[in-house]
Structure 1
Amino acid sequence: MYSSYADSMQWLDDIQVLEMIVDKFSSSDSAEVHANAAEILCAVTRYAPPALATKISSPSFVGRLFHHAFEDSRPKSVLVHSLSVCISLLDPKRLVSASYQAFRSQLSHGTLVTASPETVNGMLDSLGDLLKLLDVSSAENILPTTYGSLQPPLGKHRLKIVEFISVLLSIGSEVAEMRLIDLGAIKHVINLFFEYPFNNFLHHHVENIIVSCLESKQDHLIAHVLDECELVTRILEAEKNSALSIDLTKRTLSSEGRTPPRVGFVGHITRIANKLIQLANSNSTIQSHLQQNSGWTEWHASILTKRNAVENVYQWACGRPTSMQDRGRDSDDEDFRDRDYDVAALASNLSQAFKYGIYPSEDVDEAQASQERDDEDVYFDDEAAEVVINSLRLGDDPDRWLPVYKLQLVCV
């Protein structure tokens, strides 16, 4: 037995426990093993003793993660969970799963790991290879959906790459910003935003990317989004052609013989448009860009202003919806609960809960059958994700958690 916490942590460092864990990405093909390894490494990034913190944030350790992720024989789950660790290094307070929220208050040792410029540079070395995986032009698989088909589906691994880019932009690294601009990463993810009009998780991350760029103090980043990415023009075009395309060359195709549905990102572009208006009040670059676009001026006056009035819940005759009322919040948890939830991790963890019978339900067999589907082409729908997130926000008392008996997996 070790006499102190410091001695036990030193022992973990001596036996190279981090190396043993990260090598599970190479030695196992099991997505469950990869998820567990990432969960442990993410926990280390949040409350690690100095020795382990230094090691896990080192460029060599980051390089080891990406080496396993890019091995040809590795399943996509290695890439997904390796990026989860990198995201946690960049933003240690980001919630990866419900389990961390439940036990984090019991942790008293160590401090949050902060990604150094060297750590960020180590990640940037692999950025070009990551962006190659975002390219969907060579993929030939087609996924039928209720509204048409995806050719190809985006996949969980590409969604994770977009999330990684979102977090990378949020840390304020000018080197990272310039690298993303030079590689065309921001323009590429904005294109994906419009190519996959029903992938709300993608829209969420891309909206964060756009807002990070617009709120930055770097004029070159703002100009890149407005001019080279043609953000305002893309918004106006999407508003003008708001029905799903029937063009056979598009990534998302409407079903034949049916009226094409409206695209699913209108709410996101409305928020982006309102953010542009808000920032234009204090940023002359944005203000000048909007004023020079006559189409924007007309759309703002005729469409956006009316839409904002209709969607202003404070003006509804029935009053403000009860679900919108401010909850009492524990100030200690406020910073954590304002963070994004990794829905992919929630899906993986809760699906495993069904698999092993943790949640009693008459639909367990159905949930188990869903495990056999291609993990790259499934995600939570909005309703299921909302149920899960609401259950987490009810507090740490398990008796107060909402019962989550059935999670519907839908195709992206």
Structure 2
Amino acid sequence: MFWKFDLHTTSHIDTLLEKEDVTLTEVMDEDDVLQECKAQNHKLVDFLLRPQCMEDLVTFITQEPSTDVEEKVKYKYPNISCELLTSDVSQINDRLGEDEKLLMKLYGFLQNEPPLNPLLASFFSKVLSILIGRKPEQIVDFLRKQEDFVDLMIKHIGTSAIMDLLLRMLTCIEPQQLRQDVLNWLNEEKVIQRLVDMVQSSQDEDRHSNASQSLCEIIRLSRDQMFQVQGCSEPDPLLATLEKQETVEQLLSNIFDKEKNESAIVSVIQILLTLFETRRPAFEGHMECAPGMSHPSFSVNHSILEAVRPRLKDFHQLLLEPPKKNVMKTTWGVLDPPVGNTRLNVVRLVASLLQSNTQSINTELINLNTLGVILDMYFKYIWNNFLHIQVEICTAMILAMPPAPTDIQPDTEQEHARESILIKHLFQKCQFIQRIIDAWSSNEKEQAEGGRRRGYMGHLTRIANSIVHNCDKGPNGPQIQQLISSKDLSAEDREKWEAFISGQLADTNKRNTVDLAFSDYQMQQMTSNFIEQFGFNDEEFADQDDVVDIPFDRISDINFSLNTNESANIALFEARCNEKIQQFEDAGSDEEDIWDQKDVTFAPEAQRRPSSGSTDSEESTDSEEEDVKRDPFEASNPSTDDRMEVDTGLSKTSIHHSKHRTMPSDCDGWLGPSEASSSSTSPKDCGTPKAEEETACSEQRSITETVINGSMKETVSLTVDAKTETAVFKSDEEKIASSEKCSVVECVDSERTGVNSSAAACCPKTGSDTSRTQTRMHTADLSKK
């Protein structure tokens, strides 16, 4: 709207640009320079495209500002220059991407000595990334001509913006063939090997972290690309280089054959964990292999495992002798030494190796007793939940995984071929059951003496439950049962275990079970609180048919066969509903009441006749007397009740009522239109007092219909109690005569007798419709009074 009607004020930039000696800094000082540039102000864009202006813009983002400039405005012009160059204006992109002189000036930023200014590096990376996305062919061709480009990128890899630029080259280059050419070029420049060399103790922590993150992202991006690009025949050369055994061996050599450095160790472990990840699709739901790919691509490359296996002893030694850490004082005591990031990541690596379920890896871990050391750490560091969750993952995988496949099974071991050597080691060598029982008992003893519950008890509960579950239903259930009942576990320990799982563990599980179901009372309270907070009930805005269906649960699967005039009564019903709705919508308005000055015609009771097509109207006067509750939509004046009754004259169809269908609480007669509204013949029984007649009509309502139940027909009376919102069906044999009855009758045609003024005083108002000739009304049978 703002731009459509040209309501914006004229920019001062247009006036400024009319000056002959205007400078770039003067234009950049304008507050709306960026908005005008993005809106492609022709004068401004033409000014910026001047050779000197473009050169100055590039200079601002590649050279350090003067040191004598105030700090708060020191990077003002570099920032604005970056925003102008990356405003995605095609003319600026074309000029910058096609002018080699400007590109060389921009590229010169990489030739500065490290460390680079991080803010200027972010400006440089952003501008070059935009150019890579908009002008990929020109930029790639330019960069490939620079022989030192990869060297400079690796040299400045400690700057995060340069790392981001490297990853941008792997993800934002289109088309696919050009991207493949870039990957081959970077692989030929040995970018993977150079990044691997950055992860060693001689480099600083920033280089460790960024080089590791770059390698991890290359692995993930390359694997995702294999799923995204269907039918790609060429493998990713960078991923293939990373998965080579010699590359992994070089990584491990950097941290073990040289001085131990925690930052380098953690960075290498992060790379290994990424290599151990199963290859997942880039988007959810796509689990099929791409053409040309085999299912083994979803598993860990065997060459990686073969490179790691000889180094397991070095990782095991890290658990025993981690890099020196200072004593840590905590609120729960002194940690000497603390767990440390190194040991925590080694445990994560062990968990990932166990997931590969490789026989040679499992055997080496058993020979080293790595699992025993990890369990010792679990029970020693009682407050380190990062450690506890990793140990829980290890034990859960051991218990649930099938035995690792082996290439050769000697005949003498066929009966034990399906046994897991890890489970056997865990229960026998590591004394898994005994340690759980002892730790649980020790914790309860401390709590009984006023101590706190140990931090690993939640994980210990889940570990114990995992044993019980896998013992009963897991693939290794028979082996676990045999180990628990074998002689390796003493009778005393077996008794303790049985008592533990049936007593303490069962009680803990019961306490941990939370019933999230809400009671009816809670639901009512929440609904009430919602209405009080927002001030309305959602039923007020719902479709009225839906509202009626809500509480009707007592009458289900009842078929009604209604024989009546379909078209006339449906139209009459809809007209009456529209009038009622309009009455509510117009409440409180100053417009004339549509009900005023309307003549009402009643038919005498003696002249009542059934509706055409109805077979049960004679029975419609029978009903059961019940108390009635006023409808919330009734008029406030009790002497002018204007209530609506559901027309029974529907088509001859089966109507299936849902549960607790709410019947309208108003039971007054529905008076149809009459052509002879001016006639005034007095009907019988119209002398009944108005109050008594209203009471009789409002207390109960009755509709008599024929119910088809299988092959039998039965005439029943439907009586609705508005107070309890219930509907009662009675057959002819069950109907009880009541002292007051509310009848639904059909009034005579327009040429028949009308109503006198006294009768009109006790009946509700009606509208006029010349297309209908029948009128319905309620009369009170007060003969027994």
**Which TM-score applies when normalising by structure 2?**
0.35
Q: 1:159 corresponds to which letter in structure 2?
A: L
**Alignment of 1:287 onto 2:481:** yes
Which of residues 47, 53, 75 in structure 1 aligns to 2:239?
A: 53
In the alignment, the residues of structure 1 paired with residue 444 and residue 454 of structure 2 have an alpha-carbon distance, to the nearest angstrom, of 6
Query: Any residues of structure 2 matched to 1:130-279 within 5 Å, and which?
Result: 130-136=315-321, 141-218=326-403, 219-242=420-443, 260-279=451-470
In the alignment, the residues of structure 2 paired with residue 269 and residue 63 of structure 1 have an alpha-carbon distance, to the nearest angstrom, of 36
**Alignment of 1:88 onto 2:263:** no
**SS of match in other structure, 2:515:** helix
In the alignment, the residues of structure 2 paired with residue 55 and residue 43 of structure 1 have an alpha-carbon distance, to the nearest angstrom, of 14
Q: 1:201 corresponds to which letter in structure 2?
A: F
More helix by share: 1
**SS of match in other structure, 2:348:** helix
In the alignment, the residues of structure 2 paired with residue 234 and residue 318 of structure 1 have an alpha-carbon distance, to the nearest angstrom, of 42
Q: 1:275 corresponds to which letter in structure 2?
A: S
Shift of 1:114: 5.0
Q: 1:310 corresponds to which letter in structure 2?
A: R
**Alignment of 1:300 onto 2:501:** yes
**Alignment of 1:312 onto 2:506:** no
Return closer, same or farther for 1:81/1:307 CA change in 2, 3 Å cut-off.
Answer: same
**SS of match in other structure, 2:183:** helix
Q: 2:481 corresponds to which letter in structure 1?
A: Q
Indicate if the aligned counterparts of 1:243 and 1:261 stay in contact, CA closer than 8 A: no
In the alignment, the residues of structure 1 paired with residue 357 and residue 373 of structure 2 have an alpha-carbon distance, to the nearest angstrom, of 20
Shift of 1:28: 5.3
Q: 1:285 corresponds to which letter in structure 2?
A: Q
Indicate if the aligned counterparts of 1:53 and 1:113 stay in contact, CA closer than 8 A: no
Q: 2:480 corresponds to which letter in structure 1?
A: I
In the alignment, the residues of structure 2 paired with residue 137 and residue 21 of structure 1 have an alpha-carbon distance, to the nearest angstrom, of 25
Partner residue of 1:13?
Answer: 187
- 1:54-79: CA deviation from partner (whole Å, max 9, x where unpaired): 21111111111111112443521100
Query: Any residues of structure 2 matched to 1:255-404 within 5 Å, and which?
Result: 260-282=451-473, 283-291=477-485, 293-314=494-515
In the alignment, the residues of structure 1 paired with residue 365 and residue 483 of structure 2 have an alpha-carbon distance, to the nearest angstrom, of 22
Partner residue of 1:253?
Answer: none
**Alignment of 1:31 onto 2:205:** yes
Shift of 1:27: 7.2
More moved, 47-56 vs 190-199? 47-56
Return closer, same or farther for 1:113/1:68 CA change in 2, 3 Å cut-off.
Answer: farther
**SS of match in other structure, 2:200:** helix
Return closer, same or farther for 1:132/1:21 CA change in 2, 3 Å cut-off.
Answer: same
Shift of 1:43: 1.6
In the alignment, the residues of structure 2 paired with residue 222 and residue 317 of structure 1 have an alpha-carbon distance, to the nearest angstrom, of 42
Return closer, same or farther for 1:59/1:308 CA change in 2, 3 Å cut-off.
Answer: same
Indicate if the aligned counterparts of 1:57 and 1:115 stay in contact, CA closer than 8 A: no
Indicate if the aligned counterparts of 1:177 and 1:221 stay in contact, CA closer than 8 A: yes
Q: 1:273 corresponds to which letter in structure 2?
A: A
**SS of match in other structure, 2:334:** strand
Shift of 1:115: 3.0
Shift of 1:33: 2.0
Partner residue of 2:259?
Answer: 73
In the alignment, the residues of structure 2 paired with residue 23 and residue 150 of structure 1 have an alpha-carbon distance, to the nearest angstrom, of 34
RMSD: 3.0
Indicate if the aligned counterparts of 2:201 and 2:259 stay in contact, CA closer than 8 A: no
Indicate if the aligned counterparts of 2:424 and 2:483 stay in contact, CA closer than 8 A: no
**SS of match in other structure, 1:153:** coil
In the alignment, the residues of structure 2 paired with residue 137 and residue 74 of structure 1 have an alpha-carbon distance, to the nearest angstrom, of 9
**SS of match in other structure, 1:262:** coil
Partner residue of 1:129?
Answer: 314
Q: 1:193 corresponds to which letter in structure 2?
A: Y
**SS of match in other structure, 1:25:** coil
- 1:131-173: CA deviation from partner (whole Å, max 9, x where unpaired): 1111159968432110111121010001000000000000121
Q: 1:262 corresponds to which letter in structure 2?
A: R
In the alignment, the residues of structure 1 paired with residue 516 and residue 203 of structure 2 have an alpha-carbon distance, to the nearest angstrom, of 54
Q: Which has the larger radius of gyration?
A: 2
